[in-house]
Amino acid sequence: MTPEIRFVFDDAELIAAPGQSIAAALIAAGRRSWRTTRVGGEARGAFCGIGVCFDCLVMVNGRPNQRACLTEVRPGDRVERQEGTGREHLTG
């Protein structure tokens, strides 16, 4: 049995396989969009899947502009939808 990685996406706990990208885990969980464009608020998700475009940007652990297709899911990650260019969440 393959161990599961648990992470949070917009306050929902999801499961990923080891080595899986955030984009692949979100798609496997039925999530097709996780960012809105800066102009117009259009929904975006995975487009190229190889890190060339910027449609799959998400916030990971408070850091904006992380490419979901290139970022491997880590146990306990908090992934959030990104609106436009994103803003870093300051802690403390």
Q: Is the pLDDT of residue 83 over 90?
A: no
* Phi-psi region at 22: left, alpha or beta (left = phi > 0; alpha = psi -120 to 50): alpha
pLDDT in the model for residue 92: 47
Are the beta carbons of 75 and 61 closer than 8 angstroms?
no
State pLDDT tens for residues 29-75.
999 999 888 888 888 899 988 889 888 999 999 999 999 999 999 99
If pLDDT is split at 50, 70 and 90, which confidence band does 9 have? very high
27 phi, psi to nearest 5 deg: -65, -40
- CATH architecture of the domain with range 5-83: Roll (3.10)
Residue 88 confidence (pLDDT) above 90: no
Please report, for the chain, the start and end positions of each structural domain, with discontinuous segments joined by +.
5-83
Query: Please, are residues 66 and 60 in contact by the beta-carbon 8 Å criterion?
Result: yes
